[in-house]
Amino acid sequence: MAVTVTFVSKVFSVVLLIIVLLETIVALRTIQTELNPGCDDTKEDCAGGVAYIKAIGDQNTFHYILTAIGPPTVLVIKTEKTTKDAGISINWDNFKSGNITEMENSIKLDPSYKILYSYGVVFTRLFQYNDTTDVAELGKLNLNKTAFRVFDFSRSMFEWFDLKAISSDSAIKLRVKNSSAVMGQTINNGSLEFKFMFFDHMDRATDLPHLQYTEDTSQFDFKLMNINTGNMSLSRFALETVLFSTDPADRDMKFDETKSIDDEYTPGVFTISNWLTRPEKEEQGGYLQHKPVCYTKAYRERAVGTYVRGYGLTKVTDVQYLLNQSAVLAYFGSENMAKLRISSTNFSFGLSEDGTFTKTNYTVWTGSLGYGKPPMDAVSSLVVVVISVGLGIPVVLIIFGGIFVCLKKKSDPLLVDVSKNAMSVN
Amino acid sequence: MTESEKKPLLGSTDEEEEKLTGCGKTLCCNPFRFLHRYLILIIMCFLSFGSYFCYDNPAALQDTMIKDLKISESAFMGFYSWYSWPNVILCFFGGFLIDKTFGVRLGAIIFSLFVTAGQVVFALGALVNKVWLMDVGRFIFGIGGESLAVAQNTYAVKWFQGRELNMVFGLQLSFSRVGSTVNMNIMQPIYKFVSNSGHKGYECLGIVLFIGGIICILSLICALALGYFDKRADRILQRKQLTSEETIRITDVKDFPATMWLLCIICVMYYVASIFEMKWDFDPSLANNVNSLVYIISAVASPVFGFLIDKTGRNIFWVILGTTVTIGCHALLAFTFINPYVAMITMGFSYSVLASALWPIAAQIVPNNQLGTAYGIMQAIQNLGLAVVAIIAGAIVDSKGYLVLEVFFLVCLCVALIASVLLYLLDASKGGKLNMSAKLRQIMKEEADREKEKEEKKPL
């Protein structure tokens, strides 16, 4: 019986495999990338640069505007589809000026598009602290005794490489060139990098944590490496992140954590977090999705994974000056920016007893920024087969074995409990 | 324990031929008396204490070792591979040699010597900062360590069969746990103490490991003492000497009954499922607490369960119970979010039940003159299983996660359960000797004694 079940399961898994192989990847959107539109690198300085990605679908189009001019920002605009080949226009001088009034409306989307929704993310600050007590949690630090650095991603403090030189059509990189020193330490020469990837189909990332992506999402890696942490020999980092959307500001965003027993895609991680811009109607809102794990070596594996801690959402107040330098202001203008729904949180990297950032001097964290209902992991058919075959056969054996024994016991006197025999001897 | 302490378990002192005088007559030293047996039990427990203590020296000093010797994680793990892989085969021969050539007394002494020598070489390697020499040390240590455990089991059966054997096995498990726990807690302070006294780096490490070696010497002394007392008891109790025809041949192994092999299957399939350390969704304090909790529970609970099993008999039912409960615990861990403490604590108990009930069964299956070999085989197969499964489990968890790993363990446990049910059936068809209740065993024994008496009287 066991043999037949194994055989059936084998056939089943082969069929599954064939189905998977036959399932060709269907492109659901057309991706068009423009780097530094309207800025000629050969003649002028495009600073950190701007990437403009258009993901054109049958129903609608997503416009992604990425820039490291000002704090690193991704702005996503959802529009109806138009037949025209129009895009964005940038007044580079005004955008680069950093002056609020000059910057206003220096980035414009072609008016032929009917805008449906906009949202996006701004990375505002990087915190560094010397975790001498190894708590790895921002709220538990004794701020009087902990050496603490704050790096503002402000225009005056950070200089970024021109993204055009280091990016490809499908992977946009925002890479730090240099920073001014905070307590004697700089972040320079590519030690900090954001990488954004765009997709025309639905699949799962090849790298851990194997997050699922769709044609409506982009995935990002945030990477820190080769930082001379100097006298902070137990350095840990945290990234302040701001999410905004064109929803009414009187309601709040939501940070959801979902637990699952299934960690097949991300071994050792049983949680997935979704930061929703529009919890009242999540299928028509944006989200930032991540699993609370980052990897401390370039070769990602479970053993080098450590924790990413999220903190409660707060309304943005103390980084307004950074938003005022960002592409958000350049696109919306200050009046409309004030109407946006905005909230922020910190993501801190590391966990007690993991040796801190300094141990490997490398951390990479992956998330995705998307629109609609966030993809949720489902137990894969492989695991279902493994569970049902692996546990089914023994359970069936035990049940039938049990019945067999009971029947046999009745008919075969040899199997009658020996104690009765022996007692009768006495 | 209290009940059995009240009455001398071996009542028929009239067979005594050698007159015991002086101290030898007292409760403590008279091999006929229970207290003497318990004193021997203490020595027996300390026999392998040294090897359990030193086995985990590297784990206790992991960070310092990696730093002082400037080695990689994998080179560090080598200290464990050099111990475990050779023992996939070696402890079978260890057990066989106990039966064939050495006898349990000489065997225990020789293997204790290996343990001590291995630790000394290991420490020496650290002292001169030669990792290959340390590997050699671990290899020698391994030759001794596992075979010493076999000798310990053989001793236990020799002294306690038909009495408190299950409890003794439980107590031995508990001592192995105590040994590694003490090591885990004491080695770092010793290291700090030595390094404060001016020795640094690998030199300090070497000295600390030499200090660990002292415990091995303690165990060696136990082996010598045990040898002396065992010989004395053989003489006084007039235990049967083996004739040359009775000694085991290597070919006897193939004639081991099927029940013995089922026992091996249960042993390996059950133990492989208990090796892993779960990483609780990034909560290191939880992981540490839970794992040490399981250790402490099994240390305390196994002698208690052993005692219970002694009182009730029916070892196979206990094995089935232990396996079933463990399956339930793993299912809880795999498929629910119930606090892992619940499952892990229960697992600590079921593990104790199994360890106390399983090993004594072998003594019922295999004649005493082949017991060393039988335990050697069980231990060897267990080592093989653990070594192989450690690799498989690592590969599974890295590629498919803990859920699939748990399912894998559940499958292993189901195989163990099936094997134990088969063991029960096979045994029942042969008269149910293994699963006899303690009461019935007593009755059968008395019956047998009476028969014997009758037969002895007949010729007169």
Residue B136 confidence (pLDDT) above 60 = yes
Q: To the nearest whole angstrom, how far is the Cα of B76 from the nearest Cα of chain A?
A: 16
Rounded CA separation B319/A115 (Å): 69
Rounded CA separation B210/B187 (Å): 11
Q: To the nearest whole angstrom, how far is the Cα of B337 from the nearest Cα of chain A?
A: 7
**3-state DSSP assignment of residue B362:** helix
Is residue B417 within 8 Å of B262, Cβ to Cβ? Answer: no
Chain A residues whose CB is inside 8 A of the B335 CB are 261
Residue B309's nearest CA partner among B267, B352, B263, B362 is B352
Chain B residues whose CB is inside 8 A of the A271 CB are 281
Answer whether B74 touches A (CB < 8 Å).
Answer: no
Residue B248 confidence (pLDDT) above 80 = no
Chain B residue whose CA is closest to A404? B425
Residue B3 confidence (pLDDT) above 80 = no
Interface of B with A in 221-280 (CB under 8 A): 279
Is residue B361 within 8 Å of B316, Cβ to Cβ? Answer: yes
Q: To the nearest whole angstrom, how far is the Cα of B412 from the nearest Cα of chain A?
A: 9
Is residue B208 within 8 Å of B190, Cβ to Cβ? Answer: yes
Least confident of A276-280, B12-16, B31-35, B132-136: B12-16
Is residue A374 within 8 Å of A326, Cβ to Cβ? Answer: no
Rounded CA separation B48/B58 (Å): 18
Rounded CA separation B233/B227 (Å): 10
Residue B448 confidence (pLDDT) above 90 = no
Question: B25: pLDDT confidence band, cut at 50, 70 and 90?
Answer: low
Rounded CA separation B243/B251 (Å): 18
Is residue A265 within 8 Å of A291, Cβ to Cβ? Answer: no
Contact A263 B411 (CB under 8 A): no
Least confident of A115-124, A329-338, B18-27, B101-110: B18-27
Looking at residue B6, its pLDDT comes to 45
Question: What is the identity of the amino acid at A283?
Answer: E
Rounded CA separation B137/B115 (Å): 9
Looking at residue A119, its pLDDT comes to 94
Contact B397 A265 (CB under 8 A): no
Mean pLDDT by 10 residues, chain A (426 residues): 54 59 68 87 84 89 92 93 81 87 89 91 92 85 84 90 88 90 85 92 88 92 89 90 92 90 86 92 92 92 88 84 91 90 92 86 94 88 82 81 77 52 40
Chain B residue whose CA is closest to A423? B440
> Is A342 exposed, middle or buried, given 0-12, 13-18 or 19+ CB atoms closer than 10 A?
buried
In this complex, the residue of B284, B403, B425 whose CB is nearest that of residue A261 is: B403
Lookup: tokens for A96: 């680069």
Chain A residue whose CA is closest to B428? A415
Which of A204, A263, A405, A426 to mutate: most B Cβ within 10 Å?
A263
Lookup: tokens for A86: 């129009």
DSSP code of residue A208:
T
Rounded CA separation A66/A50 (Å): 6
What number of other Cβ atoms are within 10 A of residue A163's Cβ? 26
Rounded CA separation A243/B115 (Å): 62
Residue B224's nearest CA partner among B116, B121, B138, B143 is B116
Question: What is the identity of the amino acid at B24?
Answer: G
Question: B137: pLDDT confidence band, cut at 50, 70 and 90?
Answer: very high
In this complex, the residue of A264, A292, A390 whose CB is nearest that of residue B400 is: A264
Question: B285: pLDDT confidence band, cut at 50, 70 and 90?
Answer: low
Looking at residue A25, its pLDDT comes to 63
Residue A327's nearest CA partner among A91, A115, A116, A34 is A91
> Is A46 exposed, middle or buried, given 0-12, 13-18 or 19+ CB atoms closer than 10 A?
buried
Per the model's pLDDT, the better-predicted residue between A304 and B163 turns out to be A304
Which of B278, B282, B440, B445 to mutate: most A Cβ within 10 Å?
B282
Q: Give the CA angle between residues A175, A176, A180 to the nearest 5°.
A: 170
Rounded CA separation B222/B52 (Å): 14
Residue B372's nearest CA partner among B179, B65, B95 is B95
Q: Give the CA angle between residues B226, B232, B233 to the nearest 5°.
A: 85
| B66 Cβ contact partners less than 8 Å away, ≥ 6 residues apart | B72, B73, B76
Looking at residue A124, its pLDDT comes to 93
Q: Where are the beta strands (DSSP E) in A231-389?
A: 235-245, 254-259, 271-276, 286-295, 305-310, 341-349, 362-371
Looking at residue A362, its pLDDT comes to 93
Looking at residue B28, its pLDDT comes to 65
Looking at residue B27, its pLDDT comes to 64
Rounded CA separation A425/A336 (Å): 98
Lookup: tokens for B37: 């047996």
Is residue B301 within 8 Å of B169, Cβ to Cβ? Answer: no
**Where does A261-368 have alpha helices with state H?**
320-323, 327-337, 356-360
Is residue B396 within 8 Å of B410, Cβ to Cβ? Answer: no
Which of B265, B266, B278, B281 to mutate: most A Cβ within 10 Å?
B281
Looking at residue A1, its pLDDT comes to 45
**Where does A98-207 have alpha helices with state H?**
100-103, 163-166
Question: B276: pLDDT confidence band, cut at 50, 70 and 90?
Answer: low
Residues of B4-34 as b/e, b for ≥16 C-beta within 10 angstroms? beeeeeeeeeeeeeeeeeeeeeeeebbbbbb
Chain B residues whose CB is inside 8 A of the A263 CB are 401-403
Rounded CA separation A375/B38 (Å): 64
Per the prediction, chain B carries an average pLDDT of 81
